[in-house]
Amino acid sequence: MNATDENKTAAVRRIILDLLPPEEGDNPRIFGAGAPLDSLGLVNFLADLEYRLAEEFGREIVLASDRAMSRGRSPFRDVAALTEYVVELLAE
């Protein structure tokens, strides 16, 4: 991973953490058992995240898509998974 990719990953992670309720640990859960967001909370969080990502990176991405829903493991389960998924979408 080069410096630009590392900066992009750090920026995405920062935005995600800024939008979530404060949690302990390096990789807070987002959605699922023991996570702070229910289904409605996740929808609102994703809408806010899409808006913030568009502001930061100058392009719109859709997070809640068939692609996300068809994955074996949800990209919305924790901060690391969502960060990886967003960076993947931004690289397209």
Residue 1's pLDDT is 67
Please state the separation of Cα 32 from the chain's center in Å: 14
Q: Which amino acid is at 59?
A: R
Residue 4's pLDDT is 83
Query: What separation in angstroms does the CA of 65 have from each of 12, 45, 61, 71?
Result: 19, 15, 10, 10
Question: Domains of the chain: which residue ranges?
Answer: 3-90
Residue 59's pLDDT is 95
Q: Give me 39's structure tokens.
A: 């289904």
pTM: 0.93
- Give tens-digit pLDDT for 31-89: 998 899 999 999 999 999 999 999 999 999 999 999 999 999 999 999 999 999 999 99
Give the 3-state secondary structure of residue 54: helix
